[in-house]
Structure 1
Amino acid sequence: MGRKKVALSRQLADIDLRLLRVFQAVVDAGGFTAAEIRLNLANSTISNYISDLETRLDMRLCDRGRGGFSLTDHGQVVYDATLDLLDAIEQFGQRVNHSHNRIFGHLHLGFAEHMLGVHNSCIVDAMRSFAEQAPDVRLQISTMGSDEVTTAVLGKQVDIGITVLPQNYLELDTLTLFDEEMLLYCAKRHPLYTRECADISPEELQQYKFVESPRLMPGREIHPDMKLWNKQAKAHHQEARATLILSGNYLGILPRHLVSNWGLTDQMRPLLTDTYAYTNTFTAIRRKKNSNETISTIFYKCLQQSIDSNHLT
């Protein structure tokens, strides 16, 4: 028989913090399976950790099964308390950092997918400068969908995000970085591929199927015609959207630089660029009330200096 686990005492041990961090990651990811990649742990291991935490706390924290993952009332209390606890630990580290010249800790960045390409110089320069100024800081980068970056920053899963903001948020600091050109694309197998753009009317476009991207969601359309497009598929991640477009069954929006980087310029072409092309502006974002203030500010300043330097060259 295994040793009987004791309920959590007033004095937290390292194992308690470990279990609480796993619990937070599972809640943030929305379930055990979704947390596997983030934690680099097998589903069964994660399940054992959560069971251990429930035993130590003597309460059920979540329901998992065919109905999906959900927090119990106790689980919500523990999750909120976990965020407060980990924030307090982070603030302790920040205060210690202020007491000497060396900076220790971690910085978690969230990047929108496929954003680099021709735009990577300011970010790469910022990374280089940050590594020189804070060599002891552990850096983690997560890549996700554009909207997911904003959610991760607001939800405190990442310290700084780089993405296209769907709207303004009063609780976020923002720093404009670079633009990318977005075009409506058509693949070789599509009936419109060989047609002259001048002969394609907005009304005719409505006869074809489109892939929904974030800027084609209701209320986010760049052009009034887009509200009338027949969005029969959804792919908010660009690689999946490109796959659907290449099938010849759908029209969709992609960044010009991404189509070029992937070597797809001979397999798809832009349509009606004067009418439907638009620009995405990528922005660095962070919470104004940030527990990781010292480290995130260093990286933020590195980004600003990189932008200023690139503008001068």
Structure 2
Amino acid sequence: MARRVEDFVSNNNRGVGRLEGYLVDASDERALELSFSGITCMVRVSGAVYERDRGDHLLVGSTEPEHGIGRGGIGTEYGEYMEVTEEGETGVFTVDGRATVVDSLRGIENGIHELAVGTGDEPAVRSDEELDNETERHRAWTEDTGPTEVTVLQKFSSVLTGDLSEAGVIDRNGRLMGRLLFGDVGSVTGTSDYRVEVTLRFESQTLGDGYITDVGLEAITDSVSVSEEVAGIDRAVIGTSDQQPAPTDTTMGERLDDKAVERHARSDSVSALTVWFEDEPAGHPHSLREIGLEDNQGRLIWRTVFDTEEKTDDLPVIVDARIRII
């Protein structure tokens, strides 16, 4: 739908005041607005606790009598880790966790840093900024347990006392990304080690504005779990194909042109904005039917299609695509 540029600016409830700076060279008072706000990434939080017995005696040599003293190892005889939580323990992805993902989409390096545990029992809510009663935290390590899933792990020993009942993932800025409660671990003993695992799973929730692609979800997952990876939104892409979007998309249907975007962030979302001026791209007219976003490595992280809009050489196109984290 074409409407006056100044109307778009004044009615933009996302407060993107710098959009006017894009339009200083636009000689016409009308523009074609392509606005998409139903792009959603959901993060699910789950976890488990595993216990192993450290034994109450010292192992010297082999446990096989035929080998005798001096063969084998010296140390404590450990048991195997056994899960002590109910299957399917779930938690919440916090407001600060959303901000961590937004950092990545803005091109800012951030992500998982520590895992904390505690003895609190207050219900987990999205506004949590810390554990209810934190007792211990350590630098965590991560494992990619799926293309769009990362598991945060750490081991805790008898220095932790009391009822192990909560855990939280902490980002590199010290913010609590996710928190969950464990219902039946019980009191920690002095003869056991505990391995705590918290899993973050990233999913696309379509609200009519296409999909965050599988490749896009993988890029977001990597940027949260690997410090060197940052999936910053970099370019908007327009095209002429009406091929329906799918999570498996890796390219546009019929790519026409791409331009750098300006990113604007809120605590739980990031908007990518750009403008194609009247003479862009060359070769008018163009029948626009699709749009996408690419990250700083050229990966297609989102794509959608829409009813045909004619781009002529007297009409600028304003693109505003917002990705929300929930």
Q: Smaller-chain TM-score range?
A: under 0.3
Which one has the bigger strand percentage? 2
Larger Rg: 2
Which one has the bigger helix percentage? 1
